[in-house]
Structure 1
Amino acid sequence: MASVTLTVGAAATAATLAIAAALIGGAATASQRLASGADAAALAAADVASGAVASAGSPCEVAAAVAAASGTRLDDCRFDGFVAIVQVSAAYAGITAVARSRAGPPEVAADDG
């Protein structure tokens, strides 16, 4: 009887650990997808705003489309000059996560000359 209890306990522990590992792995994947979605949306918005990419839509409309294509939702899109600042979100296991990104032309270093 004790060996059956031990076997059931070991199986339950192994199943719990496997589920936990799957959730952690899924969360890591979701985090990377979220960060990539934010980066891609910011880059797309900055490219449209600078004229590097022609588009019939506004920079933020393009950013929203790119975010949606990556499985995220655009929550905020604004500009500081030609620098696009975006925030995207996505849900995983009932929890909503947020990522922010910014993209634009490179900063010009001040001339110390």
Structure 2
Amino acid sequence: MRDGPKAGDRGLATVWMAFSAATLCAMFAMLLALGQAVSARHQAGGAADLAALAAADRALRGAEAACDAARRVAAAQGAEVVRCGVQGEIADVTARARFGPYAPEVRSRAGPPQAPPRPAARS
């Protein structure tokens, strides 16, 4: 047995290493979860944008045809249409993408561009 000031420190480095490894694993798990959430959000956003464009392209054929096109495009992107509405030539689509435990919903609108305002007439 050792006598002296460091006799009670035996095995302390092992405890510190185990604690450090557990902390790093927890931080890595949180980073992976954040990555999954961001990836799901981007997938839902892309699907919503493309589905809204497809619906706006078919808007003049009726809301049913427009929303059917939006559903097909969203499904091709690995998402589902939660809500689809068409008013005139403007389509409003909400899509949901599932990735891991996350299922974010993103809303997107598409339609023809508005005409720029006309300059005021000079007198």
TM-score (norm 2): 0.79
- SS of the aligned residue for 1:87 comes to strand
Residue 89 (str. 1) matches residue 76 (str. 2): no
1:30 aligned residue (34, 40, 43): 40
Q: Deviations over 1:63-87 (max 9, x none)?
A: 0011111111101111121000011
Partner in structure 2 of residue 73 of structure 1:
80
Query: What is the CA-CA distance between 1:43 and the residue it aligns to?
Result: 0.2
5+ long unaligned stretches in structure 2:
1-10
Partner in structure 2 of residue 40 of structure 1:
50
User: Please, what is the CA RMSD of the aligned residues?
Assistant: 1.7
2:26 aligned residue (2, 16, 19): 16
Query: What is the CA-CA distance between 1:95 and the residue it aligns to?
Result: 3.8
Q: Which has more strand, going by share of residues?
A: 1
CA distance in 2, matches of 1:96, 1:29: 10
Q: Structure 1 residues 25 and 95 mapped into 2: Cα distance closer, same or farther (>3 Å)? A: closer
In our comparison, the structure showing a higher alpha carbon Rg is: 2
AA aligned opposite 2:93: V
Q: Structure 1 residues 95 and 26 mapped into 2: Cα distance closer, same or farther (>3 Å)? A: closer
Query: What is the CA-CA distance between 1:98 and the residue it aligns to?
Result: 1.1
Q: Structure 1 residues 76 and 40 mapped into 2: Cα distance closer, same or farther (>3 Å)? A: same
- Runs of 4+ in structure 1 displaced over 4 angstroms? none
5+ long unaligned stretches in structure 1:
52-56
AA aligned opposite 1:67: A
